Amino acid sequence: MAATHRTRMDRAFDIFNYTVLTFVLIVVLYPLYTVVISSISDPDLVNSGKVWLFPRGITFEGYERIFSDSSIWLGYRNSLLYMTVGTVVNVSLTLTSGYALSRADLAGRNFFMLLITFTMFFGGGLIPTYLLVKQLGMVNTMWALIVPGAVGAYNIIIARTFFQSSIPNEILEAAQMDGCSNTRFFLRIVLPLSVPIVAVMVLFSAVGHWNAYFQALIYIRNENLYPLQLILRKILIVNESQDQMLANLTDMTEQQRIADLMKYGVIMVASLPMLVLYPFLQKYFVKGVMIGSIKG
C-alpha cells in the first residue's frame, strides 16, 4: 500500500530530522556552555583539557580580577554611552525619514529612495570616508563612532515598508480633515501604532553599536575613549596571538594562568547585556527580519 509506505518513509524522515536538529543544537550550544563553565573553573584543569561537562575546582578569581580591572569598566561605560547616543540618533533618523518616504503624497519620494538605495550597492569606500571624517574633526571623538553610520539604507526601507503596510490611509485623511499637522500625526498616531518597528530598530541599533569594533579601531586612538570591544580585542586576541608566538616556551607563569581564566570571564561579562535581554527580545528580532523580508 502506498499509504503505509508513505508513513514508513515519514517516520524515517522524522527520526532523521530530530537527530540532525538535536546534533545542531548541541554543536551550537556546547561552545557557549564551555565558556560558562571554564570561567569558574581552575585554569590548570581547563588548560589541560579536564573540564568537559561540569566546572571543576571552582574559583571566582577570574571575575574578581575583572571587576577590579579599571580598563574593562571604562570600556563598559564608554560602550554604554556610545550605544545609547548612537541608538537615539539612529532610530530617530530611521523613523522620521522612513515615515516621510512612506507617504505617497511626498513629491520626489522616488528620487529620494533611489538616492538612498544606491548607497547599498556602491560607495566611496574606506579611505575617502576616513579622510572626510578626519576633515570634519571627528577623529578621536565619540562622534566618529556615531555620525558616519548615523542611519542605514536597509533600516529605512524596513521602516518605510512597515509604515506603508500598517498605517491606513483613512486615518491620515481623517486627521488631516481635522487639521492635524504632520508632526502631530506622526507623534500622536503613527508612533503609538508602530511599537513593534520601534522596538526592532532600537534593538538592532543597540546590538550593532554594542558589538562594533572596527570604527573605533580606525578613529579612536585615545585609550580612555576605547569601547569595550577594543578592550576585548586587546585581552582576547592581541595578547593571545602573542602568547601563541611564544607557544614553545612551556614555562607557564601564574600571571598567564590568571590571564587565561580572565578571558573566559571577560567573554561572559561582555556578553551579559545580550544574554540577559536576548530571550525576552527574541520575538522582536525575528519580527524585524520578517518585515525586512517583504520586498519594499
Partner 1 sequence: MDSNSGAAMNANTLTGTSVHKKKKLNRWLRNYELYLFLLPTLAYFVIFHYVPMYGLQIAFKNFIAVKGITGSPWVGLEHFERFFNSAQFGIIIKNTLLISLYELLFAFPVPIVLALLLNQVTSSKFKRVVQTVTYAPHFISVTIVVGMLYLFLSPHNGLVNHLLQALGMEPVFFLGSESWFKTVFITSGIWQNAGWSTIIYLAALTSVNPDLHEAAIMDGANKWQRIFHIDIPSIMPTIMILLILSVGNFMTVGFEKIYLMQNSLNAGSSEVIQTYVYKTGLLGAQYSYSTAIGLFNSVINFILLLAINTVAKKANQASLW
User: Binding partner 1 by CB under 8 A: which of 68, 127, 192, 222?
Assistant: 127
Cell numbers for 90: 539612529
Regarding 163 and contact with partner 1 (CB under 8 A), the answer is no
Distance of alpha carbon 75 from alpha carbon 219, whole angstroms: 15
Q: Which of 217, 76, 71, 73 is nearest to 139 (CA)?
A: 217
The one-character DSSP state at 254 is: H
Q: Candidates 68, 70, 183, 253: give the one binding partner 1 (CB under 8 A).
A: 183
Q: Cβ(156)–Cβ(98) under 8 Å?
A: yes
Collapsing DSSP states into helix, strand and coil, what is residue 112?
helix
Chain-centroid distance of CA 95 in Å reads 19
Between 66 and 105, how does the x/- string for binding to partner 1 read (CB under 8 A)? ---------------------------x--xx-xxx-xxx
Tell me how far, at minimum, the Cβ of 250 lies from partner 1, in Å.
8
Segment contacting partner 1 by CB under 8 A, of 63-71, 80-88, 130-138, 194-202: 130-138
Among 174, 272, 274, 276, contact with partner 1 (rule: CB under 8 A): 274
Report how far residue 17's alpha carbon sits from residue 23's, in angstroms, rounded to the nearest whole number.
Answer: 10
Task: State which residue, 195 or 286, has the beta carbon closest to partner 1.
Answer: 286
Which parts of 15-44 interact with partner 1 (CB under 8 A)?
A: 17-18, 20-21, 24-25, 27-29, 31-32, 34-35, 38
For 141, the grid coordinates are 571623538
